[in-house]
Amino acid sequence: MDKKYFTVDSAQKSLEKNKEKFMKLYNLKKLIDALLSVRIDNNEIEIMEFVETIIKLNKEYHKMCFEFYKLLEKFQKTGIIIKDIDKGILDFTAKFEGRDIFFCWKIGEEKIAFWHEIDSGFEERNRIIDLEEEHLA
């Protein structure tokens, strides 16, 4: 897929349009992780109950994984980059002074208000206002 470039406004609109889809992915990932953490001691229950429980858990796990990857495939077509699904971080590729940068958003933030260089990460984010001031300087 071709790289998609966003402006601040188009990134915000795309976030608003796709936020629910991302939240579903985020929550599915948490549920899958929770299922993977389930441990059953087969010494404390009968073997048939153990087998039935394992089968149910495996069916649920595979159902959630299928739903997760189906939704992930659709989400990737938006051009938004899932930087860290566990932390809920999204990046939007943009151009600034001839180079690629990322606008950055994290779950809990009201809107896209930060950016960072392609080779730096979330910890090195700058406010978008700084980008505008740098451009004016």
Q: How far apart are the first and last CA of the chain?
A: 35
- Helix residue ranges per DSSP H, 1-137: 8-37, 47-76, 128-136
**Residue 73 pLDDT > 50:** yes
**Residue 121 pLDDT > 90:** no
Calculate mean pLDDT across residues 102-108: 96
- The SS3 call for residue 72 is helix
Calculate mean pLDDT across residues 4-14: 95
For the entire predicted model, the pTM comes to 0.84
Handedness of CA 73, 120, 111, 97 (dihedral sign): negative
Residue type, 108: G
| pLDDT score of 56 | 93
The radius of gyration computed from the CA coordinates of the chain, to the nearest angstrom, equals 20
- Higher-confidence residue of 41 and 54: namely 54
- Residue closest to 115 by CA, chosen among 3, 2, 41, 7: 7
> For 119, which DSSP code?
T
- Contacts of residue 132, defined as CB under 8 A and 6 or more positions apart, other chains included, come to none
Q: Residue ranges per domain, the chain?
A: 8-136
